[in-house]
C-alpha cells in the first residue's frame, strides 16, 4: 500500500496554487510586482517575489543528505514540516497521531489545531526514558496516520535505536507514516533514519538548520520522504515561503568549508556536554542528570525553584519543564560556551565568580 494513499482524500485531489512563471531573463509583468527595488537595497531585488521554492537550497540539502531532490521539501523549520504532515494525513475528528511524551510540545499543538486525536506511549523516568518498542506498538489503532518519534528526544536527550525504528516502520507499513524528528542528530553518534528510506516508503525524516548549523533565526528545515508524500506536502505549502535572503544565507552556510566549521563546533559542544554532565552530577544541588545525545541535558534538582532563583539573579535562563508529567523538579539546560557553562556551574554551586 502506497503511503500517499493514507492522506486525506481532499488533499490528494487538491489542485495546488499555480504561481506566476519565474525567469530572471524575462520582462516580468505577470506577478503584480513593482519594477524597482527599495533604494536602500538596490542589489537584492527585494521587489521581486522569491522563487516559489528555493530549488538550489533543496538540491544542496538533498546532496548533503544523500537523497534525490524529489525526496526533499525545504520548510520554515521542522515546525512547518510537522504542521504540513498533520494537515495532509489527519482528518479532523477522525484520525490521530501517536507520540512518546515527554517530547516536543508542538506535536500536540499541531494535532489540536487540526482537530486530530492524540495517542500516547509515555517514556518512564524510572527507565531513563527508554523507548519501549513493544509498548509503543500496542498504542496505534486503525486511525493512527502518523507516529512521530523525536530522536534524539527533546527534552530527555535520548535516542531510539535504529533497529527499533526499523521494527516500528516495518510493523506499520500500509497503516501509518512514521515521522522521525532528527533535529538534534548531529550531536549524536547514532545513524540517521535516512538510511532506511531506500527500504521503506512509510518513513519521513525531519532535519533542521536551527541547531547544529546555527541558523535558528533563519527558520529553515526540511522533510525527507518518498516523492509522492513530498508532492502532497508541497501542494498545501504556501508559495514564495522562503525569503531570497534567507535561502542565500543558508547556501553560504552549507558550503563545504562552513560545514567543516560547523563540525568542529559540534565536537566542542559534545565535549562540553560531557564536562557539564560530570560537573552537574557531582553537585549537591542536583539529584540526577540524564545522558544526552543532543546539545542539552535534562537535570533533576533537589530544589528547582531555589536553583532557578539563583540563576535568574545572575541573568542565566534554563528551561523549567517541571510541569510536564514525570519531570518534577526537572529543567532542560542547553550546553553553552565553556565560560557560560562555568558561570552556570559556579552559580548552582553557590560560588562567586568574576565572569562578565
Domain boundaries defined on the chain: 3-254, 258-348
pLDDT digits (tens, 9 = 90+) for 280-339: 999 999 999 999 999 999 999 999 999 999 999 999 999 999 999 999 999 999 999 999
Is 75 strand, coil or helix? Answer: strand
Give pTM, 2 decimals: 0.91
Predicted pLDDT of residue 277:
97
Q: Regarding the domain delimited by 3-254, which CATH topology (the fold level of the hierarchy) does it fall under?
A: 3.40.640
168 contact partners, CB below 8 Å, separation of at least 6: 133, 136, 137, 147, 149, 178
Instruction: Retrieve residue 177's grid coordinates.
Output: 507514516
Q: How far is CA 12 from CA 194, 292, 354, in A?
A: 25, 40, 61
| 124 DSSP 8-state letter | P
pLDDT of residue 92: 95
Residue 167 φ/ψ, nearest 5 degrees: -60, -45
Nearest of 200, 209, 191 to residue 61 by alpha carbon:
209
Please name the residue that has the C-alpha cell 503584480: 32
CA dihedral over 177, 157, 155, 261, signed as positive or negative: negative
C-beta separation of 165 from 153 below 8 A: no
State residue 19's pLDDT score. Answer: 72
In this prediction, residue 43 carries a pLDDT of 61
CATH code for 258-348?
A: 3.90.1150.10
User: Which are the contacts of 274, defined by CB distance < 8 A and separation ≥ 6?
Assistant: none
Q: What is the per-residue pLDDT for 9?
A: 86
Cβ neighbours of 313 (radius 10 Å): 9
Beta bridge partners of 179: 148, 204
CB-neighbour burial class of residue 105 (10 A; exposed 0-12, middle 13-18, buried 19+) = middle
pLDDT score, position 148:
98
The pLDDT of residue 39 is 64
Report the pLDDT value the prediction gives residue 356, as an integer from 0 to 100. Answer: 38
- pLDDT value at residue 40: 61
Long-range contacts, stretch 238-241, CB < 8 angstroms, 24+ apart: 239/17, 239/19, 239/52, 240/19, 240/49, 240/50, 240/51, 240/52, 241/76, 241/80
Three cell numbers, residue 127: 527507565
- The answer to whether the 3-254 and 258-348 domains have the same CATH topology is no
Contact in structure between 133 and 146 (CB atoms under 8 Å) = no
- pLDDT tens per residue, the chain (356 residues)? 688 888 888 888 887 777 767 777 777 777 777 777 776 665 667 888 888 899 999 999 999 999 999 999 999 999 999 999 999 999 999 999 999 999 999 999 999 999 999 999 999 999 999 999 999 999 999 999 999 999 999 999 999 999 999 999 999 999 999 999 999 999 999 999 999 999 999 999 999 999 999 999 999 999 999 999 999 999 999 998 999 999 999 999 999 999 999 999 999 999 999 999 999 999 999 999 999 999 999 999 999 999 999 999 999 999 999 999 999 999 999 999 999 999 999 999 987 554 43
Q: Give the phi and the psi of residue 172 in degrees, each rounded to 5.
A: -105, 15
Best CA proximity match to 275, nearest among 339, 186, 190, 350 = 339
Neighbours of 323 (CB within 10 A): 8
Q: Give the pLDDT score at 18.
A: 72
DSSP lists the bridge partners of residue 96 as: 117, 144
CA 258, 259, 260, 265 dihedral sign is: positive
Amino acid at each position: 500500500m502506497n503511503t500517499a494513499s493514507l492522506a486525506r482524500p481532499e488533499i490528494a485531489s487538491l489542485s495546488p496554487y499555480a504561481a506566476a512563471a519565474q525567469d530572471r531573463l524575462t520582462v516580468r509583468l505577470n506577478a503584480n510586482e513593482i519594477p524597482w527595488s527599495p533604494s536602500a537595497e538596490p542589489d537584492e531585488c527585494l521587489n521581486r517575489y522569491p522563487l516559489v521554492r528555493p530549488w538550489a537550497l533543496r538540491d544542496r540539502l538533498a546532496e548533503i543528505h544523500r537523497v534525490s531532490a524529489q525526496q526533499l521539501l525545504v520548510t520554515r523549520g521542522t515546525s512547518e514540516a510537522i504542521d504540513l504532515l498533520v494537515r495532509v494525513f489527519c482528518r479532523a475528528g477522525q484520525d490521530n497521531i501517536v507520540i512518546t511524551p515527554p517530547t516536543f510540545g508542538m506535536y500536540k499543538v499541531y494535532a489540536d489545531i487540526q482537530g486530530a486525536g492524540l495517542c500516547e506511549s509515555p517514556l518512564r523516568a524510572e527507565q531513563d526514558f527508554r523507548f519501549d518498542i513493544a509498548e509503543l506498538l500496542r498504542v496505534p489503532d486503525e486511525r493512527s496516520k502518523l507516529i512521530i518519534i523525536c530522536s534524539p528526544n527533546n527534552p530527555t536527550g535520548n535516542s531510539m535505536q535504529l533497529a527499533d525504528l526499523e521494527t516500528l516502520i516495518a510493523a506499520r507499513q500500509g497503516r501509518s507514516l512514521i515521522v522521525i524528528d532528527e533535529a538534534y542528530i548531529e550531536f549524536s553518534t547514532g545513524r540517521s533514519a535516512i538510511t532506511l528510506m531506500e527500504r521503506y516508503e512509510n518513513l519521513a525524516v525531519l532535519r533542521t538548520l536551527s541547531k547544529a548549523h546555527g541558523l535558528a533565526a533563519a527558520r529553515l528545515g526540511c522533510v525527507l520522504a518518498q516523492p509522492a508524500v513530498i508532492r502532497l506536502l508541497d501542494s498545501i505549502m504556501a508559495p514564495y515561503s522562503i525569503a531570497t535572503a534567507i535561502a542565500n544565507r543558508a547556501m553560504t552556510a552549507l558550503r563545504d568549508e562552513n560545514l567543516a566549521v560547523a563540525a568542529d563546533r559540534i565536537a566542542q559542544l559534545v565535549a562540553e556536554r560531557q564536562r557539564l554532565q560530570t560537573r552537574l552530577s557531582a553537585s549537591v544541588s542536583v539529584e540526577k542528570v540524564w545522558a544526552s545525545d543532543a546539545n542539552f541535558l535534562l537535570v533533576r534538582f533537589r530544589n528547582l525553584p531555589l536553583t532557578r532563583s539563583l540563576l535568574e539573579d545572575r541573568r542565566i535562563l534554563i528551561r523549567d519543564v517541571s510541569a510536564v508529567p514525570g519531570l518534577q523538579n526537572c529543567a532542560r539546560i542547553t550546553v553553552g560556551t565553556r565560560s557560560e557553562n562555568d558561570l552556570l556551574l559556579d552559580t548552582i554551586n553557590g560560588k562567586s565568580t568574576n565572569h562578565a
